Amino acid sequence: MKVILIGVNRLNKRRFANLSLLAVTAVWGATFIVVKQATEDLPPYPFLAIRFAIAFLTLLPFVWGKRRHLSLKAVGKGLGLGCFLFGGYAAQTIGLQSTTASNAGFITGLSVVIVPLLVSITTRKFPSPTLLLGILSAVAGLALLSLGDDLSLNSGDFIVLICTFFFALHIFLVGRYAPTESAAILAAGQILAVSLLSTIFSLILPQPSSHFTPYAWFGILLTAIPATSLAFYIQTKMQQFTTPTQTALICSAEPVFSALFAFLLAGEILPLRGLAGAMLVLFGMLIAEFKGSKEIAKPSK
């Protein structure tokens, strides 16, 4: 009976964690169109520098509350995560200038393939057949969503594709660090690193003129708090209770949310093929979640 209760408790934590990550994914999906429009007034690197600086400041009260967990090791892990996060956001933000918000969201979701590969390499275990089916379904959906009629990608899409590798490494490493380190410290460290690196690149690279328009400030504030400080704190906290592969599958729904908000905010309409792709992505995520839940509910002997 005790073993069964432990299994149920783990199942409830996993489900709550996955639902929380899905909510974060929805927020991230909504920001694609906002970032695309905001960076028409403010160049990508200054935009990221200010966005993540504000996010870091909002996390300081949480860090103060966890100050007894502060250590060079924890801070170093957070800063290291921030380097991968910066690579992802820099490539994504730049790519958004020459592709659609929907395409950027779809291609970013390809991390659903890279994360399980990293897990398999490090654990020497292949995903279960059902999980593989979920991954393949998500990949097929992403292909339908992102490839044009001539089965080619434009220059902006290739830039966004680079961000996929950085984000996959970020998800994978958060899964390794989250169980042993404070979520607030890890989140603050990575957010600080992104802000500092963005500031450095803003100073050393030629930048277009900056226009701090009302919409640019709206984009900064919207992405800084709900989509950065709060979102990365939740991700880091919740990855203690789920796996990197499960996280990647949940994040693969980001293109679906991206397409939804691109339609609501900018009138971008998905063709029938894109809708079919969105359904495949959701199907892959759901069957993986169902299989994962069954495995967790099964008590160990």
pLDDT of residue 289: 65
Full domain range(s) for residue 85: 2-297
pLDDT of residue 79: 96
CA angle at residue 167 from 93 to 180, to 5 degrees? 135
Per-residue pLDDT at 243 exceeds 50? yes
Of 84, 78, 253, nearest to 163 by C-alpha is 84
- Give residue-wise pLDDT tens across range 45-99: 899 999 999 999 999 999 998 889 889 999 999 999 999 999 998 887 778 777 7
Both structure tokens of 5: 């209760």
> Regarding predicted confidence, which is higher, 127 or 52?
52
pLDDT of residue 197: 96
Span of 17-21, 72-76, 122-126, 235-239 with lowest mean pLDDT: 122-126
Q: Number of folded domains in the chain?
A: 1
Report whether 93 contacts 52 (CB < 8 A).
Answer: no
Of 35, 28, 29, 27, nearest to 218 by C-alpha is 35
pTM for the full model?
A: 0.80
pLDDT of residue 277: 82
Determine the 3-state secondary structure of 159 from DSSP. Answer: helix
| Residue 285 binned pLDDT confidence (cut-offs 50, 70, 90) | confident
pLDDT of residue 301: 34
C-alpha pair distances (Å), 204 with each of 7, 46, 201, 238: 53, 12, 5, 36
Per-residue pLDDT at 296 exceeds 60? no
pLDDT of residue 195: 96
Per-residue pLDDT at 256 exceeds 50? yes
